[in-house]
Structure 1
Amino acid sequence: MTTQRTPTPKAIIFDLLTALLDSWTIWDASTPTGTSLEGRKWRKQYLEVTFGSTNYGPGSAYEELVARSAADSGLPSSAPEALFRNWKDLEAWPGVGRVLRELREKGYLLGVVTNCSKELGHAAVRSAERTAEEAGEGKWEFDAAITAEETGWYKPAMQAYHGILPLLGEDVRPEDVLFVAGSAGDVVGATKAGFRVVWNNRVGLERKGDALPLREGNSLDEALLDFL
């Protein structure tokens, strides 16, 4: 779905765990049954809990919210424990590495904003970077990446999105950014933060609120078609 063409952004910032990485598979694998029947319910509850929070801190740290959403979904404590053990198995959606390299070649600054702890967030960022390395030659890194723990805010708070801007350079303003959302909450939050938004709706999540992305697709290529 496409609307009007927009000016070329200076930076493209990604949601990490849904727009770039297939975190849904390890959520499923970490449940007692190892199926999407339990995993999808837990994952959706996790999105509700994290996007319903504001400040990051004691009682609302990422690992605590993951465990709380598991309990809210009727899962035992072994489920979040298994998820954290499985974290190293996070993999990118098909084509992500190639797209990241293509965007870099076009001169965009590339970054990540994620509702995650510092330790798990940057481990997941590295998973995405390795995918880009495997799609080409040589080391590949994002220009900037920041977690909820580092900003002190969870998305959809504006501060969570704007926290990455100083890391990209003093001349990068909200209107210079294209945000690649992975969830409906990101479409709303990033729009309110002043970013232009496209949505890689890989798993077919329902829309929320009145904010509409410039484009919605079920792959990174489709969501970013106007910028590749």
Structure 2
Amino acid sequence: MRGSRRRMRKKRAGTNNGDITIWEVGRWERLASRNFNVWDVEACSMALQALLASDYTASVSRVMWSPDGALFGVAYSKHIVQIYYYHGGNDLRNHLEIDAHVGKVSDLGFSHPNRQLFIITCGEDKNIKFIFSADINGRIKAWLYDNMGSRVDYDAPGQSCMTMAYSADGTRLFSCGTSKEGESYLAAWNESEGFIKHVYNGLWKQSVGVVQFDTMKNRFLATGDEFQIKFWDMDDVNILTTTTAEDYQ
């Protein structure tokens, strides 16, 4: 609980020049800040080293706290994710640096299924990494946050480009993807064994782009498909209800 309270009182910010700052929300007091800096250039890929040699700058794409408020991650516009420990005041410590993607790291998040901390990233290279990554060839890989390599390797349904997400409590894993032929799949996984438990019915078979989805309240799934928002109960493969996405009309 201590970490959760601390996280709620603090605001973190990232800038276009790569700086990060932690603020005390109540008083708008700046507590800690860091300029953009790659901690170990020699450990980076040759592609990133070449980029940094010509332009040693990067903007912040995303900043996110871990669930317990002890760590936060920073995603940058050039390849890397940096994880910091925050101990209060100005005590901000480097923890982990990952050369995560080729190009921009678009987003990151944390999950803690089975009391293990995982990092999820997605990037300009169309990969999702560090929990269950899905590449454009329909391969799924599971990673731990220690960056020691993938633990498992699965085939995505329909060999589709996809996104994956846990339920809010971190106990159930789902994926949604669209194949090159436009056929979309929404599926629930048995993550420990690497097989699909069931595929949900009702997605359009000729999607133009990758169908987006999200989980809600540990019970519902929602997708944007055919100019509609479609909802499922996680325990039922048939559509629960739909609504028209009026903003897209």
* Structure showing the higher helix proportion among its residues: 1
The higher-RCO structure (CA 8 Å, 6+ apart) is 1
Q: Return the index of the structure with the highest Cα Rg.
A: 2
* Structure showing the higher strand proportion among its residues: 2
**TM-score range for the pair, normalised by the shorter chain length:** under 0.3
TM-score (norm 2): 0.26
TM-score (norm 1): 0.27
